Amino acid sequence: MLKILDRYIIKTFFGPFFFIFSVLFFIFIVNIIWVQLGQFMGKGLSYWQILKLLFYLGVSVISMVLPLTILLASIMSFGEFGERYELAAMKAAGISLTRVMMPLLGVSTALAIMLFFFSNNIIPDFQRKAKNMLFNIAQTKPALNFTPGQFIDQLPGYMVKFDKIYGDNGENIEGVFVHRKASTYENQQSIVAEKGKFVPAANKNYLKLVLYNGYIFEDNFGGKGDNVRLKQPDQAIKFDTLTSHFDISEIINKAIEEEQITDDYRFQTFNQLNKTIDKSKKDNEKFFTSSSNDALNQANSVITYMDQNKSKAIPKAQIKLDTVKSDKKLDMIYNAHNRLDNLKTTLDTKNNDINPNVKYFSKVVIYQQRIVTYSFTCIIFFLIGASLGSIIRKGGMGLPVIIAIVIFIIFYVINVGVENIAWAGKMNPYLAAWLPNIILFPFGVWMTYKALTDSQLFDAEKYKALFKPITKRFSKSKEHTRYQ
């Protein structure tokens, strides 16, 4: 059973934890909206579809939000303990800082384990839903949005223009022009009318338009040559009322959540990624072997190649360039230059082909390892946050937030930096995934040691006394003598 002190510490921690998590999650969601806003506009998406997409995208950011939340919440919690002198009272009662940190260390460990299972089992499924939904939205044609006085081609197979649109729902139109986009083998048709009205159709897949007082202009030479066009005049049909139906099923029935992409590595669990990594290794080995053999075969035509199957080299006749005639000399130099240039082009091409394979392998490895590394980051951030909070002794949203943001920025910069280096093939991707934790873990242990030894790490007077001999030299003496 948890003791009263443990329950109080955990309660104090979860107060700012839920608030910070909500704020950070909202900030990350706003960032996603800002990035993806262009794909939402003019697509005719309902509010429910947009909210669902944002939820799918937002689930994947929890792996970054949770460690930062633990860092901020632990700094604020222990800062409040120190600011209210509760930490001093606990130490006076014989309770060590280690004992105070143990309940929240257990909570952070439990959250880290939950994050691992969440990242391994739930995030891949939502990644699949989000990516397919984004792909389908990108393929969806814009929703029907008629603008007066402009030609609109949103109706499949037609080009329309309305001079005036009015009514409560924009159902009344005037100055109507409708042109059917016909191929070479179809008859051309254009409709002009004084006014019209959009009427609800019995079938929702069709748009019903009733036109009044107009003409239908249509030719009758689909698939025929230009000489027929010259001989046959256009046909004009006058009408008082014309009802037209336009098929808009392509627009309104687009399956936004249809899963068309299923082979992305981000849709896989940790164990499934092992198989993807093994397959990528084998494919890369075959590709590298084939590329090296091709480059070596071409290099053999440029340089002297020693047959490895023979113990002695076969002597070849050597020709001195000075003894060759001038015209032959230019031909030899030109041929040698062309061969070297072709070899360089081949090597550059092979290198460009290799880079995507290396980048893909590094991406898969880093993504897999981060399922585990972000869980360890939660524990490391707790050690740093709890230690900083007990040393700073300041709660609230002031100095603790600034320090936490600085630490997170350092972590993020290291994370992105080593990721790019690994993508370029200059670092082992396993090391790149773990390097931010490897760097921050000793810092967390050192901060914990400083907190346990009551170090005055952020005492301004201590640093003033340390640099006083240096500042004294450059500062003018304020003392003055009474007598000269």
The secondary structure of 253-283, three-state, reads CCCCCCCCCCCCHHHCCHHHHHHHHHHHHHH
pLDDT of residue 441: 92
pLDDT tens-digit profile of 349-368?
A: 766 767 788 888 888 999 99
Contact of 375 with 115, CB cutoff 8 Å: yes
How far is Cα 144 from Cα 159, in angstroms, rounded to an integer? 12
Whether residue 109 is predicted with pLDDT greater than 90 in this model: the reply is yes
* pTM value > 0.75: no
pLDDT of residue 414: 92
pLDDT tens-digit profile of 306-357?
A: 333 344 444 444 555 556 556 666 666 667 667 677 767 766 776 676 778 8
Bridge partners, 442 (sequence order)? none
The arithmetic mean of pLDDT across residues 271-293, rounded, is 82
| Residues in CB range of 72: below 8 A, 6 or more apart | 16, 20, 385, 400, 401, 404
Sign for the pseudo-dihedral over CA of 69, 71, 74, 76: negative
- Tokens, residue 218: 């249509």
How far is Cα 370 from Cα 430, in angstroms, rounded to an integer? 10
Q: Is 314 left (phi over 0), alpha (psi -120 to 50) or beta?
A: beta
